[in-house]
Amino acid sequence: MAYCDLLLTALTYPDATPDRALRSGVALAKRLGGELTLLTVQVDIPELHNPLANALLRLDQLSQLEEARSAATARLEAVCARIAAADAGTQIRTETVTARLYEEAETIARAARTRDATLVPIGPAVLADRALAETVLFGSGRPVLVYPEGQEIAPADRFGTVAIAWDGGARAARAVADALPILRRARDVRIFIALGDKPQAVKGAAHDLVRHLSAHGVSASVDERLAHDESIGHRLADYAAATQLDLLVMGGFGHARVREFVLGGATDAMLEAPPCPVLMSH
């Protein structure tokens, strides 16, 4: 089944999603195929019921000004995305939702539950991107495609080199299933195994995955790499650079502990600074 219904996110407050990230998101959506919707989120800042503070600092007026700035940013982002779609020769719909301040990620995650995949840029300009991607990954039940905010990605009809980070686990299997529409159309598909990273990550561990992909018409090669005292995040980044990946497919691992949510090493690294576009499933 192909991707038919895609979501591209854009935040407006306090930092706005950069134009380059919007252009790259449109370009990635064209490679995925399907209908794209840009979802911009303008904020609703709760009023402070403190007459003295309002009289001294005029906080109510400041809140209204910030809300207006957020709404204006949402309109500009929609214009930018429509221009990028026209340049890429593709279609886009634009929608704006209003979310209470600090509840933007949850609002987007709810919208993502009825989409085939959600695209989220990651970068230094928008500090909330990381939390947004994490919330969508673990709260939507659907795959999320994170990509570096500062990288200019050109439109194309398909992905070139796509790699699967395979550890034999259930989340990696889910990611492969979610990525099958991409894998069928990719020019080159590779399977990356970080030998020794996990007990099941051993030589020959990808044999049955190769068989499974072949049953779906996908021919894949296998790259087994030994660890050299590097974190899994560094190993994936080095591999992405060496093979000039257009896309990395991997499972997203995280589990709850008392008063905190703990991510797996690879997941944490990709959500912090993806070396290339990364499709993640949980």
Is residue 81 scored above 50 in pLDDT? yes
**Tokens read off for 249:** 């497919």
Average pLDDT, the chain: 92
pLDDT at 58 (0 to 100): 67
- DSSP 8-state assignment for residue 2: -
Query: Do residues 22 and 109 share a domain?
Result: yes
Residues 6+ apart with CB under 8 A from 105: 128, 131, 132, 134, 135, 136
Is residue 168 scored above 50 in pLDDT? yes
Domain with residue 271: its CATH number is 3.40.50.620
DSSP 212-242: HHHHTT--EEEEEEE--S--HHHHHHHHHHH
Q: Which of 148, 181, 202 is the C-terminal boundary of a domain? A: 148
Residue 257 resides in a domain: yes
pLDDT at 261 (0 to 100): 59
68/112 Cα distance (integer angstroms): 26
Residue 222: exposure state from Cβ atoms within 10 A (0-12, 13-18, ≥19): middle
pLDDT per residue over 205-248, tens digit each?
A: 899 999 999 999 999 999 999 877 788 899 999 999 999 999 99
Identify whether the C-beta of residue 145 lies closer than 8 Å to the C-beta of residue 153.
Answer: no
| pLDDT tier at 90, thresholds 50, 70, 90 | very high
Query: Do residues 136 and 191 share a domain?
Result: no
Is residue 260 scored above 60 in pLDDT? no
pLDDT at 226 (0 to 100): 85
Q: What is the pTM of this model?
A: 0.92
pLDDT at 258 (0 to 100): 44
Strands (DSSP E) contained in the chain are 5-11, 35-44, 93-100, 117-122, 144-148, 161-165, 188-195, 220-226, 247-251, 254-257, 260-263, 278-281
> Can the peptide bond before residue 181 be classed as cis, meaning omega within 30 degrees of 0?
no
Pairing between strand 278-281 and 144-148?
A: antiparallel
Query: Do residues 170 and 117 share a domain?
Result: no
pLDDT at 281 (0 to 100): 97
Query: Do residues 74 and 166 share a domain?
Result: no
> What are the φ/ψ torsions at residue 235 (nearest 5 degrees)?
-65, -40
Query: Do residues 131 and 167 share a domain?
Result: no
Q: Which domain holds residue 232?
A: 161-281
Looking at the structure of the chain, the number of domains it has is 2
Residue 153 resides in a domain: no
Query: Do residues 251 and 120 share a domain?
Result: no
Torsion, Cα of 73, 78, 80, 85 (10° steps): 160
Residue 255 resides in a domain: yes
Query: Do residues 93 and 181 share a domain?
Result: no
| pLDDT tier at 199, thresholds 50, 70, 90 | confident
**b/e sequence 81-106, b meaning 16+ C-beta within 10 Å:** bbebbeebebebebebeebeeeebbe
257/259 Cα distance (integer angstroms): 6
Q: Which of 148, 176, 209 is the C-terminal boundary of a domain? A: 148
Identify whether the C-beta of residue 26 lies closer than 8 Å to the C-beta of residue 85.
Answer: yes
pLDDT at 163 (0 to 100): 98
pLDDT at 198 (0 to 100): 78
110/258 Cα distance (integer angstroms): 25
pLDDT at 56 (0 to 100): 55
